[in-house]
């Protein structure tokens, strides 16, 4: 799943918002808390626990930076219940603006029987919720970057 938005701020400003984990809960309206687990600057290997409110319930996931090419691209990963989640975030300069793209994917172990049937029913809802969440994150990041 891929979502994009043009932000009226330079790429370094947008990058600063994205990589400022200490203030992520202040910027991203869907995030209620962040616990940074790795000291130092944002880099490959940086880990944190992020708590989001999703469909009225709080969920906490441990996340980590699996790749960085500052200030153009970062890859954030998480794993839960055997599923590996990956979000590739890219910044492309567009004149005085920046096109910010988030590409989300998940990889689950093979399923069969009831799990396979349940996945077929629930996957569209999960995709819709995820897309809405990513679009809201883009809006929140844009608002913060355009203010700075």
Task: Write out pLDDT tens, residues 80-94.
Answer: 988 899 999 999 999
Domain map of the chain by residue range?
A: 2-147
Output the pTM of the full model. 0.89
pLDDT value at 41 more than 60: yes
pLDDT, mean of residues 114-125: 58
pLDDT value at position 107?
87
Tell whether domain 2-147 is in CATH 3.40.50.720.
no
Q: Give residue 54's pLDDT band: very low, low, confident or very high (50, 70, 90).
A: confident
DSSP symbol at 41 = S
pLDDT value at position 70?
97
Tokens at residue 141, please?
A: 């990041």
Q: Kindly report which listed range (4-18, 68-82, 106-120) carries the lowest average pLDDT score.
A: 106-120
pLDDT value at position 34?
98
Tokens at residue 70, please?
A: 């500052």
Q: Kindly report which listed range (25-39, 54-68, 107-121) carries the lowest average pLDDT score.
A: 107-121
Query: Which contiguous run of DSSP H or E holds residue 114?
Result: helix 113-147
Q: Say how far apart CA 62 and CA 31 lie, in whole Å.
A: 13
pLDDT value at position 148?
78
Q: Please, what is the average pLDDT of the chain?
A: 92
Task: Write out pLDDT tens, residues 92-104.
Answer: 999 999 999 999 9
Cβ within 8 Å of residue 65, ≥6 positions away = 42, 43, 44, 45, 46, 47, 74, 75, 76, 77
- Distance in angstroms between the alpha carbons of the first and the last residue of the chain: 29
């Amino acid at each position: 799943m891929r979502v994009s938005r043009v932000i009226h701020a330079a790429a370094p400003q947008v990058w600063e918002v994205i990589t400022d984990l200490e203030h992520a809960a202040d910027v991203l309206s869907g995030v209620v808390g962040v616990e940074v687990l790795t000291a130092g600057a944002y880099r490959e290997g940086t880990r944190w626990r992020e708590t989001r409110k999703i469909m009225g319930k709080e969920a906490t996931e441990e996340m980590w930076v699996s790749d960085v090419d500052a200030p153009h691209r970062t890859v954030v990963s998480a794993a839960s219940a055997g599923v590996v989640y990956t979000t590739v975030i890219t910044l492309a300069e567009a004149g005085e603006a920046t096109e910010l793209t988030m590409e989300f994917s998940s990889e689950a172990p093979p399923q069969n029987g009831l799990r396979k049937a349940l996945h077929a029913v629930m996957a569209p809802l999960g995709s819709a919720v995820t897309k809405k969440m990513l679009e809201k994150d883009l809006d929140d990041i844009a608002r913060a970057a355009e203010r700075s």
